[in-house]
Structure 1
Amino acid sequence: MPFDSVFLLYRFDEKKGIVKVGGLDAFDGTPIIDLKSYFPISDRVRDCYIAPWLKDWPEWMEDGTV
């Protein structure tokens, strides 16, 4: 199963090969191997496992918190 992450793309410098992103669970300077557009109709997670210790977390993050 591939690893996918949805994040915000703030800036892309094609000449330097640098992207500035937000909301990605990674360390600064971690290489990003591939970027794909997000298509809500096909990229949504239909079934997922929520660990018991996360059951009290909200379902969504409020806009502007990432």
Structure 2
Amino acid sequence: MSYSMNPVGKIHADEDGCFIELERRFIPAMAGMEGFAFIQVLWWFSDCDNDQSRTSLVENKPYRNGPDVMGVFASRSPERPNPIAVTAAQVTYLDHDRGVIGLGWIDANNGTPVLDIKPYTPSDDRVEAPAVPDWCAHWPKNVESSGEFDWNTEFNF
């Protein structure tokens, strides 16, 4: 069985901010996005799309306060069998003419391919009281405060 994916756009991230620039043919898919304050961005860990990264199933101490060994399904490591990532991102503006979606922040590199975009809706995406292991219980409780958190003190990757 084989699958094929066609990126719908690319991440632009630099000192001036973050945004998604859609491929021209996907601009009509922006219709109706007004009013959504957040979106789920599915993107490709393109920097980790290689044989070694795709065969990595276990990470040694990926988080400074975490267990010594973790499976990639228990981490947000970019090295995984299928280098797919998802980020809940704040929408700061929409430019339908140019096919641009402004973002408050995203944890993807400049030029990263975007696979899909979905509206964030609390009925489908929010968990009122998620349980997490003690080692990460001090992490921010929401996306809004994540941007101010010093993530460099948490990750070893």
Name the larger-Rg structure.
2
How far 1:6 moved relative to its partner? 0.4
Per the alignment, residue 88 of structure 2 pairs with: 6
> Per the alignment, in what secondary structure is the counterpart of residue 4 of structure 1?
strand
Distance 1:22 1:54 in 2: 23
Task: Output the amino acid matched with 1:36.
Answer: K
Measured on the aligned residues, the alpha-carbon RMSD in Å equals 3.4
Per the alignment, residue 21 of structure 1 pairs with: 103
TM (normalized to structure 2)? 0.29
User: For each residue in 1:36-59, what CA deviation from the matched residue of structure 2 results, as whole angstroms up to 9, or x when unmatched?
Assistant: 22112221369x8x6887565454
Indicate the percent of aligned positions where both proteins have the same amino acid: 30
Per the alignment, residue 118 of structure 2 pairs with: 36
Which structure has more RCO (C-alpha within 8 Å, separation ≥ 6)?
Answer: 2
Q: Contact 2:92–2:102 (CA<8 Å) still a contact in 1?
A: yes
Q: Contact 2:88–2:143 (CA<8 Å) still a contact in 1?
A: no
How far 1:63 moved relative to its partner? 4.2
User: CA, structure 1 residues 63+32, in 2 after alignment: closer, same or farther (shift >3 Å)?
Assistant: same
Q: Give structure 1 stretches of 5+ with no counterpart.
A: none
User: CA, structure 1 residues 16+7, in 2 after alignment: closer, same or farther (shift >3 Å)?
Assistant: same
TM (normalized to structure 1)? 0.53
Superposed structure 1 runs of 4+ greater than 6 Å apart: 50-53
How far 1:4 moved relative to its partner? 2.5
Distance 1:20 1:62 in 2: 15
Distance 1:6 1:15 in 2: 24
